[in-house]
Amino acid sequence: MSNPTKILLQTTIPTVEDDWSIARFSRLRACLAGLRDLAGAPLFEVTARDRSRVDAPDPILSNLDKLAVDSLWLFAVDTGDGLTKEDCQGISRFRKRGGSILAARDHMDLGCSLCSLGGIGEAHHFHSKNVDPDVDRRIIDDPYTTSILWPNFHSGANGDFQEIAAVEPLHPVLTDPNSSGGRIRFLPAHPHEGDVNAPPGDPSARVIATGRSRVTGRVFNIAVAFESSDEGGRGIAQSTFHHFADYNWDLSAGKPSFVTEPPGDALAHSPEARRSIRQYAAHAALWLAARPISFDARSL
């Protein structure tokens, strides 16, 4: 029996019921924890937690390199104070020793504490921090929620799904032998996704998937993958944590009260899109762990 990879699902805010706390990522946790290899053994051991408090180093993140964790999935749901200097140092040491990281944020400046991380943090562009050098991308894309400024790429309503495009050469995370074209095609839609790009001068990083705005037709980056390098283990920078949130997998899971955009219902009527979304999460976890992209499909 192979040893399961230890995954930590972690938000950058303390537990707040009416926010994007870790309880709102329960379906992702169940998906990853339920995956089995071809012999029936669990592939992952999943722990999920919020940060302890905002005015002190988090006891887990600041010591992450010393703990029995293989892969960190960091959901940056804060407005700028989600990571302390000590947290960033612990995360950086963790990656340096070979740990892998998926870092996801959202629109405008939501999750901008990621800017204090080197490497994967540099892949994230915000409204006021690490601004995208391409001035053509510093424009409002979602015109409906007027309180949210760029970056806010509109891939569709919560509850709908978007068709993504894999960037050649096809990355292992995007493979899907059971779909048309042999690649993952769908992810959850969201009215205002963030902005990610491969940091200039980092040969380990490249864009692996793009989306297209339902409003402007503008192409935007969905995910940037980092290969293992002298900087540390593998990584993925994701344009929005809504690709993994319960509400975007299943509207019946509910949402924080401040989410007011009218939802869609296309995902509920598409078994293929729902499978594609779970498969993306599974493949991302396997690739980050440097495990073969192989599992018992019945456990997905």
In this prediction, residue 190 carries a pLDDT of 98
Contacts 24+ apart (CB under 8 A), 124-130: 124/194, 124/195, 124/196, 124/237, 125/151, 125/194, 125/195, 125/196, 125/197, 126/151, 126/194, 126/195, 127/151, 129/80
Quick: pLDDT tens for 15-35.
Answer: 999 999 999 999 999 999 999
Share of the chain above pLDDT 90, in %: 96
Residue with tokens 């994230």: 124
Query: Does residue 1 carry a pLDDT above 70?
Result: no
CB atoms within 10 A of CB 103: 27
Residue 270 half-sphere exposure, CB side, CA atoms within 13 Å? 21
pLDDT tens per residue, range 162-208: 999 999 999 999 999 888 789 999 999 999 999 999 999 999 999 99
Q: What is the pLDDT of residue 236?
A: 98
Average pLDDT on 58-66 reads 98
What pTM was computed for the model? Answer: 0.98
Q: Does residue 130 have a pLDDT over 90?
A: yes
pLDDT at residue 2, as a whole number: 73
**pLDDT score at 180:** 79
pLDDT value, residue 153 = 98
Please determine, for residue 64, whether its predicted confidence score (pLDDT) is greater than 80: yes
Per-residue pLDDT, 178:
85
Q: Is the pLDDT of residue 140 over 80?
A: yes
Instruction: Please state, as a whole number, how many other Cβ atoms lie within 10 Å of the Cβ of residue 83.
Output: 29
- Which pLDDT score is estimated for 179? 85
Question: For the segment 36-51, what is each residue's pLDDT rounded down to a tens digit?
Answer: 999 999 999 999 999 9
Which tokens is 240 given? Answer: 């929005």
The pLDDT of residue 209 is above 80: yes
**What secondary structure letter does DSSP report for 201?**
T
Q: Over the stretch 83-119, which tens digit does the pLDDT of each residue have?
A: 999 999 999 999 999 999 999 999 999 999 999 998 8
For 118-121, the CB contacts below 8 A with 24+ separation are 118/92, 118/231, 119/92, 119/95, 119/199, 119/202, 119/226, 119/231, 119/232, 119/235, 120/95, 120/226, 120/235, 120/236, 120/237
The pLDDT of residue 121 is above 70 = yes
Highest CATH level, class, for 5-299: alpha beta
Mean pLDDT value of segment 66-87: 97
Identity of the residue numbered 158: N
Is a pLDDT exceeding 60 seen at residue 62?
yes
In this predicted structure, what is the pLDDT of residue 118? 84
Identify the band that residue 75 occupies on the pLDDT scale cut at 50, 70 and 90: very high
Mean pLDDT computed over 255-273: 97
